[in-house]
Amino acid sequence: MELTGALPGLLLQVGLGVGAAVVLLYILKLRRRPIAVPFSRLWEAVLKDKESTSLFSHLKRLLSLLLQLALLALLLLALGDPRKKVQKSEGRTLVVLLDASASMKAVDVDADMARVLAGDASEDEVRRECQPGSPELERARELGVDCDCLWMTPEGARLETESPRLRSRLDAAKDEVRALVAAVGGADRMLLAQMDATVTPKSTMTNDPVELGKALAEVHAVDVRADFSEALRFAKDALRGLPKAEIVVVGDGALGAVGSDVELGDVKLSFVPIGESERNVAITAFSVRRYPLDKSRYEVMLEVANTGSRDEDVELTLCGDGLLADVKHLHLAAGESLSRFYPNLSGAREKLAGRMRLRGGFVDALPSDDRAYAVLPERKRARIQVVSPGNMYLDAALLLDEYLDVTTVAPKQYPAAGEFDVTIFDGVNPPVAPKSGHLFYLNPGADNVPFKVDKELTSDAKYTVGFDEVDEKSPLLRYLSLGDVHIARAHPLLGEKDDKAVGKSFRGALLLQGRRQGQKFVALGFDVRESDLPLRIAWPLFVLNVINDFVEEDTGYISSFTTGSVWHLPAPAAVDTATLTLPDGSERVVPVKDGRAIFLGDTAGFYALASGAGSAAESSRFAANISDPGESHVAPAAELVVKGVTAGTLERFTVGVQPEIWIYILLGVLGISAIEWLTYHRRLTV
Amino acid sequence: MGVLDLFRRAAAPLSRRLSPAQKEELFDDEFQRKLDYLAMVSKRVFTGAIRAERRTKRTGSGVEFADHREYAPGDDFRYLDLHAYQRFDRLLLRLFEEEEDLSIYFIVDNSYSMGFGGGAKLRQAKRLCAALAYVGLANLDRVAIVAANAEISGRMQSTRGKARIFRVFRFLERIQADGPTDLGTALRTFVAQHKRRGLAVVLSDLYDPAGFEHGINVLRYNKFEPFVLHVIDRRDKSPPLRGDLRLYDCETGEEREVTVTAKVLERYGEAYEHYLEAVRRFCVSRQVSYFPADVATPFDELILRVFRRGGFLR
């Protein structure tokens, strides 16, 4: 027997202090209530009998004192939490890693769904109704079994094609862990951790079923891949130095390979498999982009996969801003992956959603990967001021984008009235007026420019001036090539240290990009009319790339992020925090560093990022998708192998061991106190 | 106030001449009329001082024939029994019983214990004393009242006649519970101050630490005829006590620590009953008239039924 609770030294101190107080109270004579009687002699006969038993009374008093001291000793013993050594040594220490990755949202463990998946029943036969806002509907949405445009009835009161009251693999896993918690013995300890892209301990190392129950209730599945290596490292660290260490993995086993640095050592690994079916189709890639030369139109790329072992006929639907854009019927062979392009789409301004479902009224195991989301880059109407004596090629290039408001002024009329996002100086370089925006110089002179203009280069028989070296990753040169442009005359441009030479001849930079006090500039060191550049498709692309770069309208916009990774979202550099609205409508404040909001996304759907306040307020939208073929392979693993070692099955706990002696001590103390109280008030012991 | 007013006042019913408090405290007109027909019974015959309605040992000018005796020169010729002279040829003188008054002393215990528990016992003693004093005054007896605790704390001189009942009331009103009980000492003083013997009605709870016997014996040994009206409050038998207590005597201050339980209370009740029985047995064995007067019993019932049935009144 040993004390596992309060330290013996502390118990001794408390016992001495409280014991001394108890003895002192007994030594101090009890102050009795004075009562007057008319004739005390009448009490003498009574009191004479009492006096004859005074010795017994003293003895009873002493016994009462001893009883109180015994109760105190028992209470202190209970605080010490005594346990048998053999019981303590037999206890197991477990870290339960509960898989909460996207594949755990699979609903193949649902009884009705299992019938559907097995082909024993159609979805119509097991359809269940729910009310908008009801827990069943919320639950269905949490599992990804909802649609945000087409598949709801106009009233939104009933899901037409979904079975909302579904039971996911995570629910089944929770049931397993719940049974595990119920079976844990008094000497055992358990730590519950949620395993997804990170590892989140949900409880302490305890055997308290209430705490473990609460921890279990906090676990929820997210749309990410589980980082099994990190989870094993965490579990190994948590179990270091503890007896009978054991890691229990509860999940479908789709956890991927383990890093080379993970060593289990003496820690036992157990696996509780979850899952029934492997029938699943998924959208594994979804991307959208606007056409650079016609930004009102866009194209969509979709990749769908059948990760099951049977051929599937699927219906692929595309929605733009809630309106049906396209429906395709596909046949996917077992394990087949197909890519589909939707060119020349128009109509949608912001949101695109893809949806896939099995034909014939069937649903697959994992509904959450049947959807994909994307956000089109926002269109801005840029105000362009062209200061030029006349340039047909420039005017033609600017006409290609209907979202440009072009104001052309002669050099002498500069500046034009109003405020502009971009000012293009075509062969002129007057002093820059306020409200000119960013600056685009074509063949600039030496004065009033934020760079130096070198002496002229001229093509001759030996050397043709051109771009000998270009920065192909520069957004100014996206979708175009300047390698074989021939230039008759040019002036090399000399920028400052932080300026960037995007295109250079071997004698100097011809395309210079930089920033002065927040004002961007791009300079082309030759007159395009003295080159063959205007005759190429590269010219209008180049002009529009420059303007897009100035107004931060990026044709390379990321239409969707992938869950499970840290997102760096564009945000104003002047703010420290931004408010991120999650797909479920909840808001979260995220930090902003170097103009990027940082967030670890774990849920697929549409997001909104807002920052700043008042006139400086800015907002943007983006989307996130699972886009993880690994998570779409929902076939449950029968066994879990880590570094060649197969995880064993979970051994049952020893039932009936109840080492919580302190509870019985406390009950004993309460019982004795109750008896003492009763006997005292019935004057049996006084 | 003229003579007529005094006469009217004397002739008016008693209750009409009493204050409301006195009426409440004492008795009403009906009760008063009943008291007019009562008289206290004395087993012994005492020598009176003046003529009244009580027989005495003396022979004199009464109307009740007592005895004959031989004529002696100087005797009044009017009392010669001529019939006896004719029959026996002897001069015999007729003797008549002298009717004199009776001295009745009311000894009211006014110790602290009589005022204990709201003063019910003292109040009962006062009422009884007033009623009995009225009976005595109505029979032309000499009535005196003393208040006694450890000493004689108050005394009303002997008086006669119904009209003196107000003096009785006033004296009784002034009596307050005070001081410890020592009837032996107090009554020794009493007998020393009252040479004329008579009835001595003791109204007391007899809570005398020195022993109730001493006081009664003092009266007995000094030729008084003691009547013990034992004022009892049954609440004394079962006091509402519980728990660890320090009991102190309301008169002596003597303290006792006791843990009062139901069992202790039961034993105390038995001790109380034993005490009452001891008092009764003592009085009976000494031929002392003893009447328990429970405060719970209405005092008019005590006067009109209990005392009459016990022979204290007729």
CATH of the domain at B202: 3.40.50.410
Interface contact flag, B117 A38, Cβ < 8 Å: yes
Q: Are B281 and B292 in contact (CB under 8 A)?
A: no
Nearest to A407 by CA among A394, A420, A391, A392: A420
pLDDT per position as a tens digit, B117-146: 888 999 889 988 888 888 888 877 889 999
Compute CA distances B20 → B17, B126, B164, whole Å. Answer: 9, 16, 19
Q: Give the pLDDT of residue A638.
A: 81
Q: Which long-range contacts (CB under 8 A, 24 or more apart) does B24-28 make?
A: B25/B123, B25/B126, B25/B127, B25/B173, B26/B127, B26/B130, B26/B131, B26/B169, B27/B127, B27/B130, B27/B131, B27/B300
Q: Are residues B93 and B106 both part of a single domain?
A: no
Q: Which two tokens stand for residue B43?
A: 């087993």
Q: How far apart are CA A247 and CA A229, in angstroms?
A: 13
Walk across the sheet containing B289-294 and list its strands: B152-159, B142-148, B103-109, B199-204, B225-232, B289-294
Q: How far apart are CA A518 and CA A512, in angstroms?
A: 16
Interface contact flag, B250 A42, Cβ < 8 Å: no
Q: Are residues A293 and A268 both part of a single domain?
A: no
Q: Are residues A264 and A410 both part of a single domain?
A: no
Q: Decide if pLDDT at A442 tops 90.
A: yes
Q: Are residues A421 and A543 both part of a single domain?
A: yes
Distance of CA A212 to the CA centre of its chain: 23
Q: Decide if pLDDT at A112 tops 70.
A: no
Assess if residue A31 is contained within a domain: yes
Q: Decide if pLDDT at B58 tops 90.
A: no
Q: Are residues A406 and A517 both part of a single domain?
A: yes
Assess if residue B247 is contained within a domain: yes
- The parent domain of residue A460 ranges over 382-551
Q: Give the pLDDT of residue B9.
A: 46
Helices A41-52 and A54-79 pack at an angle, to 10 degrees, of 60
Assess if residue A505 is contained within a domain: yes
Q: Are residues A542 and A569 both part of a single domain?
A: no
Walk across the sheet containing B255-260 and list its strands: A33-37, B243-249, B255-260
Q: Tell which of B237, B247, B274, B277 to mutate to test the A interface (max A CBs under 10 Å).
A: B247
Q: Give the pLDDT of residue A453.
A: 92
Which range (A116-120, A205-209, A586-590, B229-233) has the least confidence? A116-120
CATH number of the domain at A229, please. Answer: 3.40.50.410
Q: Are residues B124 and B242 both part of a single domain?
A: yes
Residue A345 identity: L
Q: Are residues B188 and B96 both part of a single domain?
A: no
Assess if residue B10 is contained within a domain: no
Residues whose CB falls within 8 Å of the CB of residue A374, separated by 6 or more in sequence, listed in order: A286, A287, A288, A300, A351, A352, A353, A354, A559, A560, A623, A625
The alpha carbon of residue B140 is apart from the nearest alpha carbon of chain A, in Å, by: 37
Q: Give the pLDDT of residue A386.
A: 94
Q: Give the pLDDT of residue B182.
A: 92
CB-closest option in A33, A38, A46 to B116: A38
Q: Give the pLDDT of residue A554.
A: 54
Q: Are residues A195 and A342 both part of a single domain?
A: no
Residues of chain A contacting B246 with CB distance shorter than 8 Å: 32-35
Terminal C-alpha separation, chain B:
38
The runs of H, that is alpha helices, within A53-94 are: 54-79, 85-90
Assess if residue B139 is contained within a domain: yes
Q: Give the pLDDT of residue A430.
A: 92
Structural domains counted in chain B: 2
Q: Are residues B251 and B298 both part of a single domain?
A: yes
Interface contact flag, A38 B205, Cβ < 8 Å: yes
Q: Are residues B149 and B297 both part of a single domain?
A: yes
Assess if residue B206 is contained within a domain: yes
Q: Give the pLDDT of residue A452.
A: 93
Q: Decide if pLDDT at A192 tops 50.
A: yes
Q: Are A604 and A565 in contact (CB under 8 A)?
A: no
For B251, the closest chain A residue by CA position comes to A38
Q: How far apart are CA A634 and CA A101, in angstroms?
A: 11
pLDDT per position as a tens digit, A583-610: 888 899 999 887 788 888 888 888 888 8
Interface contact flag, B244 A30, Cβ < 8 Å: yes
Q: Are residues B118 and B92 both part of a single domain?
A: no
The alpha carbon of residue B251 is apart from the nearest alpha carbon of chain A, in Å, by: 7
Residue matched to tokens 């005390």: A40
CATH number of the domain at A392, please. Answer: 3.40.50.880
Assess if residue A516 is contained within a domain: yes
List strand residue ranges (DSSP E) for A399-474, in order. 404-409, 422-426, 438-442, 452-453, 457-458, 469-470
Q: Give the pLDDT of residue A489.
A: 92
The alpha carbon of residue B238 is apart from the nearest alpha carbon of chain A, in Å, by: 11
Q: Which of A516, A551, A586 is the last residue of a domain?
A: A551
For residue A502, the surrounding DSSP H or E stretch is strand A500-505
Chain B residues bordering chain A (beta-carbon distance below 8 Å) = 112-113, 116-117, 205, 207, 209, 236, 239, 241, 243-252, 254-259, 261-264, 267-268, 271-272, 274-275
The alpha carbon of residue B183 is apart from the nearest alpha carbon of chain A, in Å, by: 15
pLDDT band at B18 (very low <50, low <70, confident <90, very high): very low
Q: How far apart are CA B217 and CA A205, in angstroms?
A: 91
Q: Which two tokens stand for residue A111?
A: 């009884």
The runs of H, that is alpha helices, within A287-428 are: 392-399
pLDDT band at A615 (very low <50, low <70, confident <90, very high): low
Q: Are residues B157 and B269 both part of a single domain?
A: yes
Structural domains counted in chain A: 5
Residue matched to tokens 């005398």: B208
Assess if residue B261 is contained within a domain: yes
Assess if residue A518 is contained within a domain: yes
Q: Which two tokens stand for residue A652?
A: 């049952």
Q: Are residues A363 and A458 both part of a single domain?
A: no
Q: Are residues A308 and A177 both part of a single domain?
A: no
CB-closest option in B205, B246, B271 to A46: B271
Residue matched to tokens 């062209």: A386
Q: Decide if pLDDT at A292 tops 80.
A: no
The question of ipTM being above 0.95 is answered as no
Assess if residue B7 is contained within a domain: no
Nearest to A272 by CA among A354, A342, A195: A195
pLDDT per position as a tens digit, B173-223: 899 998 899 999 999 999 998 888 888 999 999 999 888 899 999 999 998
Give percent of chain B with pLDDT exceeding 70. Answer: 75
Assess if residue A156 is contained within a domain: no
Assess if residue A457 is contained within a domain: yes
Assess if residue B229 is contained within a domain: yes
CA torsion angle for A498, A500, A505, A511 (degrees, to 10)?
Answer: -130
Number of A–B residue contacts, CB under 8 Å: 87
pLDDT band at A120 (very low <50, low <70, confident <90, very high): low
Q: Give the pLDDT of residue A124.
A: 57
Distance of CA B267 to the CA centre of its chain: 33
Q: Give the pLDDT of residue A293.
A: 66
The alpha carbon of residue A66 is apart from the nearest alpha carbon of chain B, in Å, by: 21
Assess if residue A660 is contained within a domain: no
Q: Are residues B74 and B203 both part of a single domain?
A: no
- The parent domain of residue B185 ranges over 35-45+102-309
Assess if residue A130 is contained within a domain: no
Q: How far apart are CA A572 and CA A560, in angstroms?
A: 20
Q: Are residues B71 and B125 both part of a single domain?
A: no
Nearest to B177 by CA among B153, B209, B211, B208: B153
Assess if residue B9 is contained within a domain: no
CATH number of the domain at A577, please. Answer: 2.60.40
List strand residue ranges (DSSP E) for B44-102, in order. 51-70, 92-100
Q: Give the pLDDT of residue B187.
A: 92
CATH number of the domain at A301, please. Answer: 2.60.40.10
Average pLDDT over residues A439-451: 92
Q: Are residues A424 and A546 both part of a single domain?
A: yes
Q: What's the full length of chain B, in residues?
A: 314
Q: Are residues B150 and B250 both part of a single domain?
A: yes
pLDDT band at A678 (very low <50, low <70, confident <90, very high): confident
CB-closest option in B246, B251, B262 to A34: B246
Average pLDDT, chain A: 81
Q: Are residues A452 and A538 both part of a single domain?
A: yes
Chain A residues bordering chain B (beta-carbon distance below 8 Å) = 30, 32-47, 49-50, 683, 686
Q: Give the pLDDT of residue A29.
A: 57
| A652-668 core/surface letters (b: 16 or more CB in 10 A; e: else) | ebbeebebbbbeebbee
Q: Are A588 and A579 in contact (CB under 8 A)?
A: yes
Q: Are B71 and B110 in contact (CB under 8 A)?
A: no
For residue A167, the surrounding DSSP H or E stretch is none
Q: What's the full length of chain A, in residues?
A: 686
Q: How far apart are CA A416 and CA A161, in angstroms?
A: 59
The alpha carbon of residue A19 is apart from the nearest alpha carbon of chain B, in Å, by: 24
pLDDT per position as a tens digit, A72-109: 888 888 888 887 765 555 678 889 999 888 888 887 76
Distance of CA A449 to the CA centre of its chain: 47
Q: Are residues A399 and A529 both part of a single domain?
A: yes
Q: Give the pLDDT of residue A156.
A: 30
Q: Are residues B84 and B220 both part of a single domain?
A: no
CB-closest option in A35, A45, A686 to B259: A686
Q: How far apart are CA B307 and CA B300, in angstroms?
A: 10
Q: Give the pLDDT of residue A656.
A: 47
For residue B249, the surrounding DSSP H or E stretch is strand B243-249
Residues of chain B contacting A58 with CB distance shorter than 8 Å: none
Q: Give the pLDDT of residue B280.
A: 93
The runs of H, that is alpha helices, within A296-413 are: 392-399
Q: Are residues A348 and A404 both part of a single domain?
A: no
Q: Are residues B296 and B200 both part of a single domain?
A: yes
Residues of chain A contacting B255 with CB distance shorter than 8 Å: 34
Residue A217, SS3 per DSSP: helix
